[in-house]
Structure 1
Amino acid sequence: MSDKTLGYVYLALAMLLVGSTVVASKIAAGALPPFTATALRFALALPCFLVLLRVSGTPVPRPGRRDGAILVLQGLAGTAGYTALLMAGLRATSAADAGVILGTLPVVATVVAMALLGERPRPMLLATIALASAGLFVLHRQPAGTAAGSMSGNTLVFGAVLCEACFILLNKRLRVAVPPLALSTLMSAIGLAASLPFALAEAAWTAPVASSALLAVGYYALLPTVGGFLLWYAGTARVGATEAALFTALAPVAALLLAALLLGEPVGWRQLAGIAFVLAAVGALAFANER
């Protein structure tokens, strides 16, 4: 197996793990309050990152006041905010719908950059936005007689996507680049510190918690969070940035398939049409960035 092919394998596995977080979050959200699940995720992931930081000899950054403030905002948005909103949203919507919405992240990040930085959109970027918007529109067309709760749940999941998009944008504003492993360690620490007070207020320990929910949080913390990090950066070290970006399209597909296989959720025309539009948008975005 060539080095580049191995990179493809690493990237594919990383995105499959990312897709599986939707199913894990759905299981955890059924028995745990959102901030409790968030705090547990980072409480488990942080020690692993600290060990990796020590073993690898990665230097711990000492950011200035401006970069320090950006890192805190990143932690609040991209870790605590993202996980808590995703968990809260999955209490009211299906994992299949959430997977499609999470697939819009690359396009949403581009839109946020244009809105906040005043970048002028090129025609191809406008096409990607239209495709992703069409996917969300189709997804939100609820059949008559279905429960109305999924709309609020989908809105919370989209809020999680916005938080992650802000994380990406803020990372580009850092004056001094932070090594990926150090950044993941810092984000886990900030996410834990931000979610812990709310988790204590939720007092989840006063009621019995299903073991499946705890196992789901443990899985989320150790495999997609820590293992996904290692696989993604092992892959990007062997593959170009444009090629790596295309692999993000695997995450919503994995979420959709795993929701059907593991949770028994029905996958209808709305989800299939939505994922088709989202995948087309991701492909068009990668093509636009390559030119």
Structure 2
Amino acid sequence: MALVGASFTASAALVDYPLAGGQAVRYAVAALCLLAVMVWRRERLVLPSLRQAGRLTALAATGLTGFSVLVVLATSRADPSLVGAVVGATPVVLAVTQAVRERHLALRTLAAAVVVTAGVVLVEGLGSADPLGLVLAVGALACEAAFSLLAVPLLPTLGPLRVSAYACCAAVPQLVLLGLLAPGPFLAVPDGGELVALAYLSVVLTAVAFLLWYTGLARVGPARAGLFAGLVPVAALAASLALGAETASPHAVAGALVVGLGLVLGLAPGRRSSRRTGRRTRVTA
């Protein structure tokens, strides 16, 4: 998530580059990198079943293709800060979804997700939007949540590396089709800055970050992993400060501290035992 937040400066270099074509190149390069890692690690090539292939296609259509497109469309109709604040509700969505799936509400995790989301809103601030811009931002939020939720059933059998590689492979034809149908050029010759940005987004933000995220997701589950989405605006702010692009406002600093508080609340180990009426009873926090 820190890598995602720090990538916004790279994404800004691609504002004038064809959207679908650039994203298609990004995921194609990332897929080649991940497949090369599979060969280097001598991972067995496991072909997904029909159901798994369908889930991978849906994952690519929402968490990769859909999210990329909706964020761009939303920021054209709404302030980027508002889009960031809406997408920042991802921890709450993941916590509630896991509670519904497991039929068990972990109050501390849900409370931590609310705290993290409040911190994100403080960092991002609230901007203005027309109704369509707000709908597009909510759509981006749904796609961001789907990026994790659709992957959860795939991780035990395919593993983080295969899920990352296969999802990138599935996204490429989707983006090619979208780019060919959309007006304007599909690809363009990148200048030096755009080439560096595409390389960073392909290797670091996609190949490396996807593998890290899905590995962590398999270990701690979507609700607890989702808390780290709060680090995205914090890392983006830190990168901007390091590059001298902006100065830290009081509400942004306060928001970063609130995000940290939410992470501590959600990840701290719980108490495991208590005594009641003279008997030993084991409980889980």
In the alignment, which residue of structure 1 is the partner of 2:105?
A: 121
Q: Whole-Å Cα distance in 2 between the matches of residues 114 and 248 of structure 1?
A: 18
Q: Contact 2:91/2:117 (CA < 8 Å) preserved in 1? A: no
Once the two structures are superposed, what CA deviation does each residue of 1:220-244 show, in whole Å capped at 9, x if it has no partner?
A: 10122223356668999999x9998
Moved more, 30-39 or 73-82: 30-39
Q: Contact 1:94/1:265 (CA < 8 Å) preserved in 2? A: no
- Structure 1 position 228 matched with structure 2 position 209: yes
In the alignment, which residue of structure 2 is the partner of 1:170?
A: 150
Q: Whole-Å Cα distance in 1 between the matches of residues 266 and 130 of structure 2?
A: 28
Instruction: Compute the displacement of 1:178 (Å).
Output: 0.7
Instruction: Compute the displacement of 1:33 (Å).
Output: 4.2
Letter in 2 for 1:284: L
- Cα–Cα, structure 1 residues 25 and 164, in superposed 2: closer, same or farther, change >3 Å? same
Structure of higher CA gyration radius: 2
Once the two structures are superposed, what CA deviation does each residue of 1:90-116 show, in whole Å capped at 9, x if it has no partner?
A: 56778777777666544432123345x
Q: What RMSD, in angstroms, separates the aligned Cα atoms of the two structures? A: 4.2
- Cα–Cα, structure 1 residues 196 and 205, in superposed 2: closer, same or farther, change >3 Å? closer
In the alignment, which residue of structure 1 is the partner of 2:12?
A: 26
- Structure 1 position 74 matched with structure 2 position 55: no
Please give the residue correspondences for 1:132-147 in structure 2 after superposition, counting only pairs within 5 Å.
132-135=116-119, 138=122, 142=126
Q: Whole-Å Cα distance in 2 between the matches of residues 244 and 206 of structure 1?
A: 35
In the alignment, which residue of structure 2 is the partner of 1:258?
A: 239
Moved more, 207-216 or 228-237: 228-237
Q: Whole-Å Cα distance in 2 between the matches of residues 267 and 152 of structure 1?
A: 31
Q: Whole-Å Cα distance in 2 between the matches of residues 128 and 114 of structure 1?
A: 14
Q: Contact 1:23/1:263 (CA < 8 Å) preserved in 2? A: no
Moved more, 212-221 or 270-279: 270-279
Q: Contact 2:74/2:134 (CA < 8 Å) preserved in 1? A: yes
Which has the larger share of helix? 1
In the alignment, which residue of structure 2 is the partner of 1:4?
A: none
Instruction: Compute the displacement of 1:189 (Å).
Output: 0.6
Instruction: Compute the displacement of 1:182 (Å).
Output: 1.2
Q: Whole-Å Cα distance in 1 between the matches of residues 166 and 8 of structure 2?
A: 23
Q: Whole-Å Cα distance in 2 between the matches of residues 105 and 24 of structure 1?
A: 23
Task: Find 2:35's aligned residue among 28, 50, 53.
Answer: 50
Q: Whole-Å Cα distance in 2 between the matches of residues 133 and 235 of structure 1?
A: 20
Letter in 2 for 1:254: A
Please give the residue correspondences for 1:280-291 in structure 2 after superposition, counting only pairs within 5 Å.
280-287=261-268, 291=285
Q: Whole-Å Cα distance in 1 between the matches of residues 257 and 52 of structure 2?
A: 39
Structure 1: 5+ residue stretches without partners: 1-14
Q: Contact 1:92/1:152 (CA < 8 Å) preserved in 2? A: yes
- Cα–Cα, structure 1 residues 153 and 266, in superposed 2: closer, same or farther, change >3 Å? farther
